[in-house]
Amino acid sequence: MSSSSTNVTVCASNDTLCTIKEHQVEVIIVPALLLFGTLVTLVPLFILRYCCDRNRARVRTAQHYHSSSHRQTERHHHQQHSTNHHHSHRTKHQNHRSHLQGIDAPPGINPLEHEELPMSVTQARQNVRPTMAAAPQRSTERHHEAFSQVAALPQTFSIHPNDTVNFYRARMDNKNVVLRVLKETATSSEKQKFLAFASFVSGLGPHPFIPALLGVMSAQSPLVMVVEELQQRDLLGFLWRCRQDNSGLQPSCDMTEKRIFTMAAQVASALDYLHSQNCIHGNVGARSVLVGGDMTAKLWGFGPAYRRRTQGSSTGEDTVIKKWQAPEVLAMRPITKSSDVWSFGILIYEMVTLGDPPFAQVTSSELLQHLQRGSHLKRPDTCSNSLYSIIRSCCHFNAKSRLSTSELIRMLKAGESSANGRTALRVTEPFKFEKYLREAGFAEAYNYAVL
């Protein structure tokens, strides 16, 4: 018989103790051995894991401490060197301070404590709002010589001061740059708008006739946009300088008919590119064009375009640049690409008159009625027939009858080949700033600075 049968016969049916004793190997000893073996296996594994975690944490702490100590020591040496150089420089030029404006770096800008965040170049999209996260893609530590020769950048005129941004001229990577610096007193909302505008400009992408955005410093305050500097600055101020007696000025200040064709074609190329990116500029004028040392013209002044992209409307500047706006915009209808073409015609008028405002004898409030009666810009004495023909084609009351940007570029390049490049334009009437403000329709305080 089997063992089970034997156990049954040995133990009475109601004797539980006897039954357990007979089956103690299966009931007690084997489970105990299995439990003991499991503990022996798991305990060493837990011990090994715990020790490894502690060793890793100890190594990370040591590395972090060493790295932090090294950075602090290096920063201390740089700051001490910079301070010593700064004091010796100030002492050397103390007696000539009035002739050395901006020779010291402005307060709050310390290249040792900032990082340059190059802007990524992406295609602009019409209905996508730029965000702070869309601006910087990577960071590069800035060296102490990143900015040199930092000096305040004077504005041509400032009717309505910008209370949040300062401008400085500097040298970076062996090139002249302009620093658009957000003031330390800026609110969180102003900081977000500053970075969002930088992201918007970056998203437009590079173009030979749009100023290059070289980077954004956003690691610490103050926030800074770094833009290439164009030596002649804004076109409006350049035109005013051309009005003066040029006997003692460089010949490059002369404006000829050929130069107008060339510069206008460059601006038209930038405008055509923006339109291909579904971006309407809405602020075309001599104040929004920058001029390089080689007389290259580049289109800037993207404030209204940025506000339309992010807010759906543009306020502020639009209330005081009515003399440059198309009739449909004056009538409160949506701005279009054709509206930019109208403003471009006004830009050519500014160039041929060396900075005269359009419709000088008409007030801004009466301009729409003036245009509805069939009136238009009169041909200036300094304007050739070919240039005036382009002005009239751009400033047609019916938006559908205006030139497209591609047609405009073609006409400008064709006219450039036969234009007069020898005779400089001259305006006998001297420039008067107060008169310009009145005739341009600046009824309210306004800062037209383009950077």
Q: Quick one: pLDDT at residue 91? A: 44
- In this prediction, residue 117 carries a pLDDT of 42
- Residue 206 shares a structural domain with residue 109: yes
The answer to whether residue 51 is domain-embedded is no
**What whole-number distance in Å separates Cα of residue 272 and Cα of residue 276?**
6
Residue 63 domain flag: no
Q: How far is Cα 263 from Cα 286, in angstroms, rounded to an integer?
A: 11
How far apart are alpha carbons 38 and 249 in whole angstroms? Answer: 96
Range(s) of the domain holding residue 122? 103-228
Q: Looking at the domain assignment, is residue 251 inside a domain?
A: yes
CATH code, domain carrying 131: 3.30.200.20
Residues 276 and 317 in one domain: yes
Domain end among 228, 249, 275: 228
User: What was the pLDDT predicted at 312?
Assistant: 72
- CATH for 288: 1.10.510.10
Residues 348 and 262 in one domain: yes
Asked whether residue 336 is assigned to any structural domain, the reply reads yes
Give, in order, the Cα–Cα distances in Å from 365 to each of 24, 327, 343, 361.
Answer: 110, 12, 18, 12
The reply to whether 210 and 247 lie within a common domain is no
179 shares its domain with 214: yes
Alpha-carbon separation of residue 332 from 313, 325, 327, 368 (angstroms): 11, 11, 9, 11
Q: What is the model's pLDDT at position 250?
A: 54
Distance of CA 195 to the CA centre of its chain: 7
| Domains of the chain: total | 2
Q: What is the pLDDT of residues 169-195, one digit of tens each?
A: 888 888 889 999 998 888 999 999 999
Give the model confidence (pLDDT) of 420-435 as tens digits.
999 999 888 888 888 9
**Residues 294 and 344 grouped into a single domain:** yes
In a domain, 448, yes or no: no
Examine the domain organization and report whether 288 and 428 are in the same domain: yes
Whether residue 187 is contained in a domain is answered as: yes
Same domain, 293 and 356: yes
Domain membership of residue 15 (yes or no) is no
Spans in the chain with pLDDT lower than 50: 1-8, 59, 61-71, 73, 78, 81-83, 85-145, 315-316, 444-451
What pLDDT does residue 51 have? 66
> 398 and 354 in one domain?
yes
Instruction: Supply the mean pLDDT for the chain.
Output: 76
Residue entry with tokens 């918007």: 200
- Find all residues with CB under 8 Å of 205, minimum gap 6, and list them: 121, 122, 123, 124, 277
12 falls within a domain: no
